[in-house]
Amino acid sequence: MHWRPAKTPYEVIVGAILTQDTAWGNVEKAIANFGGNLAPESIAAMPMEKLTEAVRKAGKQASPAGARLVEFDVLTSGEIAMKDTPKGMRLQIGIFGRRNVGKSSLLNALTRQQVSIVSDVPGTTTDPVEKPMELLPLGPVLFIDTAGLDDVGALGEMRAEKTRQVFERTDLGVLVAAGGEWGEFEDLILAELDKRKTPAVVAFNKADLAPSAGDAFASVEQRLKGRATPSVRTAALRGDGVLALKEALVRAAPEEFMEAPPIIGDLMSPGEVAVMVIPIDLEAPRGRLILPQVQTIRDVLDHDSCVMAVKERELRDALDKLKAPPAIVVTDSQVFLRVAGDVPDHVPLTSFSILFARLKGDLREFVAGVRSIDGLKPGSKVLVLESCAHHPIGEDIGRVKIPRWLRQYTGVELEFVHRQGHDFPDDLGAYQLVVHCGACMLNRREVMSRILRCREAGVPITNYGVAITYSLGVLDRALSPFPGFQM
């Protein structure tokens, strides 16, 4: 087989994708269509129609081949996207603006796919539309297209409320304005982002339809420059300015997304062993581990340390086989009491949920909030927040076990209310305690927003692992890896 000499790894990737559908001779013809401009930057900015036409010489399967280039997100560095990265670990980019300013068109241009329905009818987008992709060098991101905040009527207000909820989890905001138009709604959107200390980029879309709006553009751009908010002119349907917008997003992104914080790696040294206690029960998905376990194991490996994974029944034998004590033992909260009996006191011990309380939220706040359990009275309402929308089965941790343990600890009958996903009540006044899951499916901004909301309402908030170990009388043991956090 003749293999075309490639100047860069990117050319190898493109050739490998195209040749899946045709003979290599046709691929060479398709590659020639790029006229020597086969670079990630040019392909990233190329509209889907032009990309499809460029690869048409690869045969009748040209359109799927073009789609594969998009699906694999071979973008600004020629790397393959990590499609399976959980939403909670992605930079979440919210797209906001009035109705009919081209938010959905801009999302389609950014992703080079028809993710959102586009129409001239205002209010086409109803519920938020999410699209994961790879935006290097930031890595995995999640774009969220929202309904216009100026939507009217009862249904429109419901749509606008859904949009306002997206503010709570947005790490980076894109405010889309049509042409050089700017008014009260745009000021309100920037104010909402400012209130949450969320960085923003303004996209003046439909710039091609407002050629006479030069003075208006300049005036607003100067005003934004004074408040250090970057702006870009775009024409989404033509693909103009899309690459510049991507570059602006990269520059405006929070610094912490360039280097992910550790889950456990800072608690041990390279070469040391972490023991993970992972029960296999009805709630464990068949053939795989749950997300916090997978992420914690990966973090240990990323920090050049070792992992031993065992079920709770094999823990004691596993510890005896080690030549030296492990640096730390991490367990599922539900078997903490049993595990604590098998792990020597001098070995640090904690739970996956508490590790994620530190990663996604504020561990100190959760530890302070758990003390309020002692003040619960008969009929007190406890709000239980679950980030994933799983179907409860058997002895569900949030719906069965935590209520049972808290009732046993307090000795009184309590009322439990459960919310899932991004659902969070506007009025917290009816609750005496909020208990949050490990939040593996949420990003840190959304969890911190919930903590702030609870603080403003005067309602204590804690975490599954903190509440469980407190009710079992072993919280200090669970906090042993974190000096200064013991009660």
pLDDT tens sequence across 201-211: 999 998 887 66
Q: Are residues 250 and 267 in the same domain?
A: no
Q: Are residues 144 and 272 in the same domain?
A: no
Whose tokens are 């790490």? That residue is 171
What pLDDT is attached to residue 194?
A: 92
The residue among 258, 280, 301 that closes a domain is: 258
Q: Are residues 266 and 391 in the same domain?
A: yes
Cα atoms in the 13 Å half-sphere on the side-chain side of 431? 25
pLDDT tens sequence across 419-456: 998 889 989 999 999 999 998 888 888 898 899 889 98
pLDDT tens sequence across 84-127: 567 777 889 999 998 888 888 898 888 877 765 555 555 555 57
pLDDT at residue 12 is higher than 50: yes
The residue among 258, 286, 310 that closes a domain is: 258
**2 falls within a domain:** no
**82 falls within a domain:** no
* More confident call, 243 vs 10: 243
Q: Is the dihedral of CA 423, 426, 432, 436 positive or negative?
A: positive
**What average pLDDT does this structure show over 56-73?**
48
What pLDDT is attached to residue 31?
A: 75
Q: Are residues 158 and 232 in the same domain?
A: yes
**What average pLDDT does this structure show over 55-75?**
48
Residue type for position 160: A
Q: Are residues 58 and 94 in the same domain?
A: no
**What average pLDDT does this structure show over 343-364?**
95
pLDDT tens sequence across 35-64: 766 766 566 666 666 777 777 655 544 444
**What average pLDDT does this structure show over 31-35?**
74
Number of domains in the chain: 3
Q: Are residues 155 and 267 in the same domain?
A: no
Q: Are residues 224 and 155 in the same domain?
A: yes
**77 falls within a domain:** no
Structural domain containing residue 24? 9-71
Choice among 53-62, 128-137, 391-400, 432-441 with the minimum mean pLDDT: 53-62
* More confident call, 336 vs 14: 336
Q: Are residues 240 and 340 in the same domain?
A: no
pLDDT at residue 302 is higher than 70: yes
The residue among 231, 258, 285 that closes a domain is: 258
**300 falls within a domain:** yes
Q: How far apart are CA 77 and CA 138, in angstroms?
A: 11
Q: Are residues 233 and 336 in the same domain?
A: no
pLDDT at residue 359 is higher than 50: yes
What pLDDT is attached to residue 66?
A: 47
**76 falls within a domain:** no
pLDDT at residue 295 is higher than 70: yes
Percent of the chain at pLDDT > 90 equals 42
Q: Are residues 477 and 390 in the same domain?
A: yes
What pLDDT is attached to residue 60?
A: 42
Pairing of strands 200-205, 129-135: unpaired
* More confident call, 479 vs 246: 479
pLDDT tens sequence across 143-180: 999 887 766 556 656 777 787 889 989 999 999 998 77
**212 falls within a domain:** yes
**371 falls within a domain:** yes
Q: Are residues 302 and 370 in the same domain?
A: yes
Q: Are residues 41 and 131 in the same domain?
A: no
pTM: 0.66
Average pLDDT of every residue of the chain: 82
**20 falls within a domain:** yes
